[in-house]
């Protein structure tokens, strides 16, 4: 499958690299690395449906070349780090009429929506899937491409704190460093460039979260008024949930974030034996064993929280946890 995916990418004349809405470093790292390698031999374009690019990721090469509108023509679409096509913000029927879809991902819950599906769920990041594809096809990486893939992986694993970590992951990361990725510089950009508004949001979360189910569930609500009061942007909520998950008693952390249109984004995290991807799937979302999410248009965030708690209470049978 690595060879088939790479051949399909190479033969493309006009190739569109698509990252998911509200992009993180993993989805962008994949797109930017492939763009770096192919821009000289193909007509290559970078697309993301989100209007405002995350400021914390502006250090990545090619961040200024991504567009929120489609090019006039394209024959191949490479979708990176999306479990479902609707996470791209595009209409899959319209895209299929124009182009072949190549789906590159590492989510266990991926719906295999592509004409070619390179989905390796045990991998720590989608960037690791891309690197394996490039390595197996003898593609030499530039320092820029190596940096993108390194950054995407460290960010998606919380700097190797969670995810499908094994010896091959660290071997690949070592190779990316030898190819030009700078671990110290990337760490500073991702971990030591926190805006004041994000710091204030962390303070709010640390004071407002709830502990439920004998301290096993940590729950935090973030409303639009909370973002305005702290000066934070949506992107500043990235990984905020980990503040709650890291508490010693917490088995599952839940963040319910109000979007500008009144809908909600729900993030789920666990750290022991609870498979939160199964909870997310039940509500139309997806993700990984320890990190998943979904979206909801319900009117009240408290009702969403109760639904999640009900699923948590079923955990001993359905989700494989020994705790209730």
92 token code pair: 């899959």
* Nearest-5° Cα angle at 259, 112 to 71: 50
Q: What's the rounded Cα separation, in Å, for the pair 209 and 202?
A: 11
Domain-located, residue 324? no
Look up the domain containing 226 and give its range.
Answer: 196-318
Q: Is 253 exposed, middle or buried (0-12, 13-18, 19+ CB in 10 A)?
A: buried
Do both 156 and 275 map to the same domain?
Answer: no
Do both 171 and 281 map to the same domain?
Answer: no
* Nearest-5° Cα angle at 75, 73 to 77: 105
Do both 281 and 220 map to the same domain?
Answer: yes
- Which residues, in sequence order, are bridge partners of residue 47? 18, 67
Do both 227 and 244 map to the same domain?
Answer: yes
Q: What's the rounded Cα separation, in Å, for the pair 158 and 296?
A: 26
List phi, psi (to 5°) of 44. -115, 145
Q: What is the pTM of this model?
A: 0.88
Do both 200 and 178 map to the same domain?
Answer: no
Per-position DSSP letters for 274-296, written without gaps between them? --HHHHHHHTT-EE-SSEEEEEE
Do both 98 and 205 map to the same domain?
Answer: no
Per-position DSSP letters for 182-251, written without gaps between them? -HHHHHHHHHS---HHHHHHHHHHHHH-EEETTTTEEEEEE-HHHHHHHT--GGGGTTTHHHHHTSTT-S
Write down the residue that tokens 């909370």 correspond to: 226
List phi, psi (to 5°) of 184. -70, -45
Handedness of CA 129, 134, 140, 144 (dihedral sign): negative
Do both 128 and 234 map to the same domain?
Answer: no
Q: What's the rounded Cα separation, in Å, for the pair 172 and 174?
A: 5
Do both 252 and 202 map to the same domain?
Answer: yes
Pairing of strands 252-258, 264-270: antiparallel
Give the pLDDT of the chain (324 residues) as one tens digit per residue.
Answer: 899 999 999 999 999 999 999 999 999 999 999 999 998 888 999 999 998 899 999 999 999 999 999 999 999 999 999 999 999 999 999 999 989 999 999 998 899 999 999 999 889 999 999 999 999 999 999 999 999 999 999 999 989 988 778 899 999 999 999 999 999 999 999 998 888 999 999 999 999 999 999 999 999 999 999 999 999 999 999 889 999 999 999 999 999 999 999 999 999 999 867 889 999 999 999 888 888 999 999 999 999 999 999 999 887 455 444 433
Q: Is 21 exposed, middle or buried (0-12, 13-18, 19+ CB in 10 A)?
A: middle
Domain-located, residue 323? no
- Say if residues 123 and 116 touch (Cβ distance below 8 Å): no
How long, in residues, is the chain? 324
- Say if residues 290 and 269 touch (Cβ distance below 8 Å): yes
155 token code pair: 């960010």
**What is the tally of structural domains in the chain?**
2
Boundary of a domain, candidates 153, 168, 191: 191
């Amino acid at each position: 499958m690595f060879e088939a995916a790479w051949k399909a990418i190479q033969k493309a004349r006009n190739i569109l690299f698509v990252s998911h809405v509200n992009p993180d470093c993993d989805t962008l790292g994949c797109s930017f690395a492939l763009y770096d390698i192919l821009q000289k031999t193909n007509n290559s374009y970078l697309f993301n449906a989100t209007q405002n690019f995350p400021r914390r990721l502006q250090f990545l090469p090619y961040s200024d070349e991504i567009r929120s509108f489609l090019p006039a023509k394209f024959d191949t679409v490479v979708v990176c780090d999306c479990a479902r096509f609707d996470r791209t913000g595009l209409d899959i029927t319209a895209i299929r009429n124009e182009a072949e879809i190549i789906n590159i991902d590492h989510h266990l819950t991926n719906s295999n929506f592509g004409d070619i599906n390179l989905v390796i769920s045990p991998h720590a990041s989608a960037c690791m899937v891309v690197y394996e594809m490039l390595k197996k096809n003898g593609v030499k990486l530039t320092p820029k491409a190596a940096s993108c893939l390194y950054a995407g992986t460290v960010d998606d694993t919380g700097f190797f704190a969670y995810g499908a970590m094994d010896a091959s992951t660290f071997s690949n990361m070592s190779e990316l460093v030898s190819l030009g990725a700078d671990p110290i510089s990337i760490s500073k950009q991702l971990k030591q460039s926190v805006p004041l508004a994000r710091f204030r949001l962390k303070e709010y979360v640390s004071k407002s979260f709830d502990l439920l189910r004998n301290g096993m569930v940590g729950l935090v609500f973030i409303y639009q008024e909370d973002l305005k009061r702290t000066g934070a942007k949506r992107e500043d909520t990235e990984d905020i949930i980990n503040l709650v998950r890291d508490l010693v008693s917490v088995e599952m952390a839940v963040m319910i974030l109000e979007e500008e249109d009144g809908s909600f984004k729900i993030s789920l995290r666990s750290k022991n034996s609870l498979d939160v991807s199964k909870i997310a799937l039940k509500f139309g979302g997806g993700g990984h064993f320890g990190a998943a999410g979904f979206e909801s248009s319900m009117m009240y965030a408290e009702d969403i929280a109760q639904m999640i708690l009900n699923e948590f209470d079923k955990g001993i049978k359905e989700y494989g946890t020994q705790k209730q």
